[in-house]
Amino acid sequence: MSEDFVNKIREFIVAKTLLEKNDRVLIACSGGADSMALVHILFELKDEFNLTLGMAHLNHKIRKEASEDQKFVRKAAKQLRIPFHSKTIDVPRLAKSKGLTLEEGARQCRYDYLHQVAFDHNYNKIAVGHNCDDNIETILFNIIRGAGVAGLKGIQPSRGVIIRPLLNTSKDEIKKWILARKSPFVIDRTNKEVAYTRNRIRLRLLPYLKRNFNPEVDKALLRLSSISTEINGFMIGETLKAIADLTIHRDKSKIILDLECFREYPIALRRNIVREIVKTITGFNYPPDYQAVELFLGFCGDRRFGKKIFRGGAIAEIIGDKITFGTLTEVSLKKRIELPGQYIDPRLGFLLSGALLDSIPSETEIRTTEKNISYMDFGKVKGPVIIRNAVAGDRIKPLGMTGHKKVMDILAENQIPSFLRQSQMVLTIGSKIAWIIGIRASDEFKIVPQTKLAIRLEYAE
Amino acid sequence: MSEDFVNKIREFIVAKTLLEKNDRVLIACSGGADSMALVHILFELKDEFNLTLGMAHLNHKIRKEASEDQKFVRKAAKQLRIPFHSKTIDVPRLAKSKGLTLEEGARQCRYDYLHQVAFDHNYNKIAVGHNCDDNIETILFNIIRGAGVAGLKGIQPSRGVIIRPLLNTSKDEIKKWILARKSPFVIDRTNKEVAYTRNRIRLRLLPYLKRNFNPEVDKALLRLSSISTEINGFMIGETLKAIADLTIHRDKSKIILDLECFREYPIALRRNIVREIVKTITGFNYPPDYQAVELFLGFCGDRRFGKKIFRGGAIAEIIGDKITFGTLTEVSLKKRIELPGQYIDPRLGFLLSGALLDSIPSETEIRTTEKNISYMDFGKVKGPVIIRNAVAGDRIKPLGMTGHKKVMDILAENQIPSFLRQSQMVLTIGSKIAWIIGIRASDEFKIVPQTKLAIRLEYAE
C-alpha cells in the first residue's frame, strides 16, 4: 500500500514532468497532512531525481496554534536534515489593510514569500500540497462564481515554478498513508470553519450534492474540468493562429485587425480573439469581463464605428474596416529640436532627423515619397522647431489646400483611432503645424520653384 | 410593461428565427403560468406572423387535479378559438412498466404525444413553455450529473420542430405578466414537491447557492452555458473537418481513418472525433461515455493493435496504420448462383456478375486488374457456385502459392478489422474457396496455358 501510494505519485510526476534530475525544490509546508505527506514523498524520491530539497513555512498568525505549527515544521525539517525557511507575517492585519479576505490575504502572502525564498536561495521549483479534493472544490467554486469555461480548468499540475505532485491524489488517500506511516502532522482547525467559502464548499455543498444528486459528483467535476482544459488549450491555439491571420499591423502601442475577416470567424473564436488581445495588452492582469466582450462583439457585427474601454485600460476601437486595440497611454512630449540635426527620444522610441539636400527634389520625388518622410523649403523654416503630441485645437493648412483644417479631423479621416490621436506627433515651426508626422504636411512649408535650399525630414520608430 | 414583455419575446423569436410567416404552431399547454403565457403571446403574434395555432394538453394522471387541468386548458382554447388536442395517458403505470422515473416517463409521453399530434394535424412547429429558470436548472443538473462540456449547453431555443419562445425570460417575469393581465392559470403542485430531482435543484440547491456563494449564480451558469454552446459549435465544425481530412475510406458499414494523422491532432479534437463517429454509427442514440473514449485514445497513442466496443454496438479497431470504425453487424448469407450470370443482393446491396470472355486475358491483364475483379478458368468451374460470408475454418490455396492458408489469417494480414472478418464475402466452387472477394483468388481456378474458356467475375457494391 505504502509503495503503491508513492508509485502513483511518481507516475503522476513523470507523466506531467513535474520533476527533472537535479531540481532544487522548495516544499511549502504548513505542517498539515497534505504538506507533510509531500515532504516525505519528495524525500523518498530525493535520490532518484537527485533533488536538493528545502522546506518553507509561513506563520500567518491567523490561528492561535500558528507558532506551535511553525515549531513543529522546523523540528520535522531538522529531523530530515532539510534546510528550513520560515517567516511570520500578520496576515489578518495585512489583509485588512489591503481590503482582501483572510483567505485571499493568506494566499497572496504565502505565494509572495515562497517566490522570495526560492529566488533568494536559488530553488528552481516550489512544491505545494494541493490534492484532488482541493481541485474539485476549486472547480465547483469557479462554476458557482461564474469564471467561464477557462475557470473550469481548476488547479493545474504546474504553473510557472509551482508544482503540485499530489494533485492526482485524494485527501483520503493522503490521510490514510500518513496515518499508516505514523508520521506526525498538525491539524488545521481553520479547515473546519464554515466561515471560509472554500471550507463551506468542502464541508457543506459537496456532501449535499453527493447525498442528494450524484454520489460521484467529484468524478463528474474532474471530468468536466479535464475536458474543458483540453478544449481550452485547443481554443487558445486556434485563437493565436486567428490573431496572426487577422493582424494588419502590430507595434508596441497597438494591434490592428482586419474587421471584415474578423467578422467571418465563428463567434467562439471572435470572443476568444478579443479576450486574448485584451489580456495581452493589460499584461495578463485583467481578463476582460464577459459583458464587455459581448458588447464590443455587438459593435463588430454591424457597425463601422464603435469603441469599448475594458478594465485595465485596454481599448478596442472600430474605424472603417479596421479594429485597433491599444491602451489609454498619455503621451506628453514637447521638445525643441535643431534643424538640420537629429533628435532621438529614448522613452517613446523614435528618431527624427533633418538633413539639408544638395539639390531640390523633383515634384515626382516629393509626391512618391514615403509617409514618414517630408521635404520642406528650408528658407521657410524660421522660428523654433518643436516636436510634440497633437492637441485638440491644432489646425493645419494641408498640402495642396487653401483653407485650414483641424488636425484631429484629419486624423479621424485617416482612421486613426480616437484613443491614439492624442499620441500623434506633430512638428511645429514657429507657431504653425508644419507636419502631422506620417500623415500630412503643411502647404505653408512646401517646396516651390523659388526654393533655394531643401531639407528632408525623416521620422523612424 | 405588458408591451415590453411581448416585445422582448418577439425580439428573441426573431433573433433565433423561431417563427416564420405562415407557421402552423402546436402549443404544448399544461395550463400553468408558463404555458398559458406562451398561448397568450403566440395569440398576440398570430396576425403578425400569420400563424395557425393549436393547443395540446396531455393528462398524465400524475396528480389528482390532472382532469381539472385538462378541462381548464380545453376551456381556454375554446375561448381563444384555438383547436384543442388532448389525450389521457396513465404515465405512472407506463413509467413503471418501462423502468423510467416519473419525470422521465412524463417527459417521453409528452414529446411522443406532441409529435404525433403535429404529424397528424400538419403542424410544422411545436412551441413549449421552457423558460430561463428551467434552463439554469438543466445546466446545473447536467454539471452535477457529469454531462461533460456538451451538457453545459443546456436547453436550446429550438431543436427540430420544437421551439421555446420563452427561453430568454425568467419565471418571475412570466408570472408578473400573467398576473398583471389577470389571465387565469393552474398551479402545478408537483412543482413544489422536493422528491423530484429538478424541483430539488430549483427549490433547494439554487437558493442555497445564491444565499451562500453567489447571489448571481443564475447569470454565472447562463454565461457558462452560452460560452460553452459557442465553443461546442466551433469544436463540432472543426471535428467534422478533421474527420473528412482523416477518412481514408467510408461506406455504409465502416469508416477508416489514418492513424498516424489522427495522432497528430490535439487531444481535444481526437476525443471529439471518436465521439462524433461513434455517435453517427449508433444513430445518435448512444453518445459514448468518457471512460470508453479515454481508453480507446490510450490505445491510439502507442499501440498498433487494439479494439474497443462502445455501447450501442459501435466498434473501433486499430490495425497497423488504420483505425476502422463500424458496428457488430451479423452478416449471414449463403446463396447459390449461376455462372455465367448475375446475382443482386438487395439487402446487403451488392452485385456479382460473371461473364464468359471471347478471348483468354493476358497475364498482364490478369495481374493489373482491379481487386474486385477475378478471372477464372471456366473449365474448372464444376459443382455448385455459392456466395457466402467467410467463417472460421475456411481455407484457401492462395494464387501463386502451393500450400493452403486460413482465410481469417489472410484477412488479418490485409488489415481487415476483426469485427468485419465475419462479413467478408467468399465465393466457393464445389467445396473449395475460389475467391476471397476483393482480397485474394485461389490458385486452383486460375487461368493456365491450357485454359479454353475464361470467365470474368466482378463484385460491385
Determine contact, residues A32/A129, Cβ cutoff 8 Å. Answer: yes
At B48, list the grid cell. Answer: 403578425
As a whole number of angstroms, the distance between CA B122 and CA A245 comes to: 49
At A97, list the grid cell. Answer: 489593510
Minimum Cα–Cα distance from A233: chain B residue: B268
Question: Chain A residues with CB inside 8 Å of B200's CB?
Answer: 212-213
- The count of CB pairs under 8 A between chains A and B is 120
Confidence category of residue B2, pLDDT binned at 50, 70, 90: low
As a whole number of angstroms, the distance between CA B82 and CA B308 comes to: 53
The pLDDT value given to residue A248? 94
Q: How far is CA A332 from the centre of its chain?
A: 26
Name the nearest CA neighbour of B227 among A279, A287, A307, A228.
A228
Determine contact, residues B110/B57, Cβ cutoff 8 Å. Answer: no
Question: Chain A residues with CB inside 8 Å of B220's CB?
Answer: 143-147
Which region holds residue B146: left if phi is over 0, alpha if psi is between -120 and 50, else beta?
left
Interface of A with B (CB under 8 A): 141, 143-149, 152, 197, 200-201, 204-205, 208-209, 212-214, 216-217, 219-221, 223-224, 227-228, 230-231, 233-235, 237-238, 266-269, 271, 290
Closest-CA distance, B203 to chain A, in angstroms, reads 13
At A307, list the grid cell. Answer: 469603441
Closest-CA distance, B392 to chain A, in angstroms, reads 42
Q: Which of B217, B237, B269 sits opposite A144 (nearest CB)?
A: B217
Substitution target from A136, A149, A200 for chain B, most B beta carbons within 10 A: A149
pLDDT reading at A283 higher than 90: no
Interface touch A212/B228, C-beta < 8 Å? no
As a whole number of angstroms, the distance between CA A132 and CA A155 comes to: 9
Q: What pLDDT digit, counting tens, does each position of A398-407 carry?
A: 998 889 999 9
Closest-CA distance, A298 to chain B, in angstroms, reads 13
Closest-CA distance, B227 to chain A, in angstroms, reads 7
Say whether A157 sits in a helix, a strand or coil.
coil
pLDDT reading at B65 higher than 80: no
Half-sphere exposure of A225 (CA within 13 A, CB side): 25
Minimum Cα–Cα distance from B235: chain A residue: A231
Closest-CA distance, A236 to chain B, in angstroms, reads 11
Question: Chain B residues with CB inside 8 Å of A145's CB?
Answer: 213-214, 220
Minimum Cα–Cα distance from A219: chain B residue: B146
The pLDDT value given to residue A312? 73
Substitution target from A229, A231, A240, A267 for chain B, most B beta carbons within 10 A: A231
Determine contact, residues B8/B166, Cβ cutoff 8 Å. Answer: no
Question: Chain A residues with CB inside 8 Å of B205's CB?
Answer: 208-209, 212-213
Determine contact, residues B350/B461, Cβ cutoff 8 Å. Answer: yes
Interface touch A200/B213, C-beta < 8 Å? yes
As a whole number of angstroms, the distance between CA B304 and CA B318 comes to: 6
Mean pLDDT over each residue of chain A, to the nearest integer:
89
Host H or E run for residue A176: helix A171-180
Minimum Cα–Cα distance from A146: chain B residue: B220
Q: Which of A214, A227, A233 sits opposite B144 (nearest CB)?
A: A214
Q: Which of residues B197 and B26 earns the better pLDDT score?
A: B26
Q: Which of A446-455, B35-44, B77-86, B297-306 has the lowest mean pLDDT?
A: B297-306
Interface touch B268/A149, C-beta < 8 Å? no
At B30, list the grid cell. Answer: 399544461
- A389 φ, ψ to 5°? -85, 150
As a whole number of angstroms, the distance between CA A83 and CA B299 comes to: 44
Q: How far is CA A228 from the centre of its chain?
A: 21
Substitution target from B200, B213, B229, B238 for chain A, most A beta carbons within 10 A: B213
pLDDT reading at A14 higher than 70: yes
In chain B, the percentage of residues whose pLDDT exceeds 90 is 55
pLDDT reading at A2 higher than 70: no
Name the nearest CA neighbour of B410 among B431, B430, B424.
B424
As a whole number of angstroms, the distance between CA A412 and CA A320 comes to: 10
pLDDT reading at A328 higher than 80: no
Question: Chain A residues with CB inside 8 Å of B217's CB?
Answer: 144, 146
Confidence category of residue A89, pLDDT binned at 50, 70, 90: confident
As a whole number of angstroms, the distance between CA B257 and CA B247 comes to: 5
The conformation of residue A445, written as its DSSP 8-state character, comes to G
Alpha helices in B330-415 (DSSP H): 363-367, 407-413
Q: What pLDDT digit, counting tens, does each position of A368-380 carry?
A: 788 889 999 999 9
Q: Which of B147, B231, B267 sits opposite A149 (nearest CB)?
A: B231
Determine contact, residues B247/B255, Cβ cutoff 8 Å. Answer: yes
Interface touch B268/A220, C-beta < 8 Å? no
Alpha helices in A184-255 (DSSP H): 197-200, 206-212, 217-246
Domains and CATH numbers, chain B: 2-222 (3.40.50.620), 252-326 (3.30.465.60), 334-460 (3.50.40.10)
For residue A357, how many other CB atoms are within 10 A of its CB?
A: 14
Mean pLDDT over each residue of chain B, to the nearest integer:
89
ipTM: 0.72
The pLDDT value given to residue B20? 95
Torsion angle of the four alpha carbons A335, A339, A342, A346, in this order, in degrees rounded to the nearest 10: 10
The pLDDT value given to residue A195? 66
Confidence category of residue B94, pLDDT binned at 50, 70, 90: confident
Say whether A56 sits in a helix, a strand or coil.
strand
As a whole number of angstroms, the distance between CA B151 and CA A224 comes to: 10
Question: Chain B residues with CB inside 8 Å of A220's CB?
Answer: 143-147
Maximum average pLDDT range among A437-451, B31-45, B417-431, B447-461: B31-45
Minimum Cα–Cα distance from B149: chain A residue: A224
Amino acid at the residue B374: S
Substitution target from B231, B267, B290, B297 for chain A, most A beta carbons within 10 A: B231
As a whole number of angstroms, the distance between CA B212 and CA B216 comes to: 11
Q: What pLDDT digit, counting tens, does each position of B299-332 carry?
A: 888 777 788 888 777 889 998 899 999 887 667 8
Q: Which of B148, B201, B220 sits opposite A224 (nearest CB)?
A: B148
The conformation of residue B164, written as its DSSP 8-state character, comes to -
As a whole number of angstroms, the distance between CA A152 and CA B191 comes to: 31
Substitution target from A16, A138, A144 for chain B, most B beta carbons within 10 A: A144
Question: Chain B residues with CB inside 8 Å of A146's CB?
Answer: 214, 216-217, 219-221, 223-224
Question: Chain A residues with CB inside 8 Å of B221's CB?
Answer: 143, 146
Interface touch B269/A216, C-beta < 8 Å? no
As a whole number of angstroms, the distance between CA B242 and CA B270 comes to: 9
Could you tell me which residues are beta bridge partners of residue B55? B27, B84
Substitution target from B137, B204, B217, B224 for chain A, most A beta carbons within 10 A: B224
Confidence category of residue B413, pLDDT binned at 50, 70, 90: confident
Interface touch B213/A290, C-beta < 8 Å? no
Kindly write down the DSSP assignment for every residue of A272-300, as one continuous string: HHHHHHHHHHTTTS-PPPHHHHHHHHHHH
Confidence category of residue A194, pLDDT binned at 50, 70, 90: low
Kindly write down the DSSP assignment for every residue of A315-347, as one continuous string: EEEEETTEEEEEE------EEEE-SSEEEEETT
Host H or E run for residue B337: strand B334-337
Closest-CA distance, B21 to chain A, in angstroms, reads 25
As a whole number of angstroms, the distance between CA A247 and CA A323 comes to: 10
Strands of B390-453 (E only): list them. Answer: 395-396, 405-406, 425-429, 432-436, 440-441
Q: Which residues contact B154 (CB under 8 A, 6 or more apart)?
A: B135, B136, B138, B139, B142, B222, B225, B229
Interface touch B269/A234, C-beta < 8 Å? yes
Q: A389-396 contacts: CB < 8 A, separation 24 or more?
A: A389/A331, A389/A332, A389/A333, A389/A334, A389/A422, A389/A423, A389/A424, A389/A425, A389/A426, A390/A421, A390/A422, A390/A424, A390/A425, A390/A426, A390/A436, A391/A422, A394/A426, A394/A433, A395/A433, A396/A432, A396/A433, A396/A436, A396/A440, A396/A442
Minimum Cα–Cα distance from A145: chain B residue: B214
Interface touch A213/B200, C-beta < 8 Å? yes
The conformation of residue B37, written as its DSSP 8-state character, comes to H
The pLDDT value given to residue A117? 96
Question: Mean pLDDT throughout B77-105?
Answer: 87
Interface touch B208/A208, C-beta < 8 Å? yes
Q: Which of residues A346 and B130 earns the better pLDDT score?
A: B130
Amino acid at the residue B239: T
Question: Chain B residues with CB inside 8 Å of A234's CB?
Answer: 235, 266-269
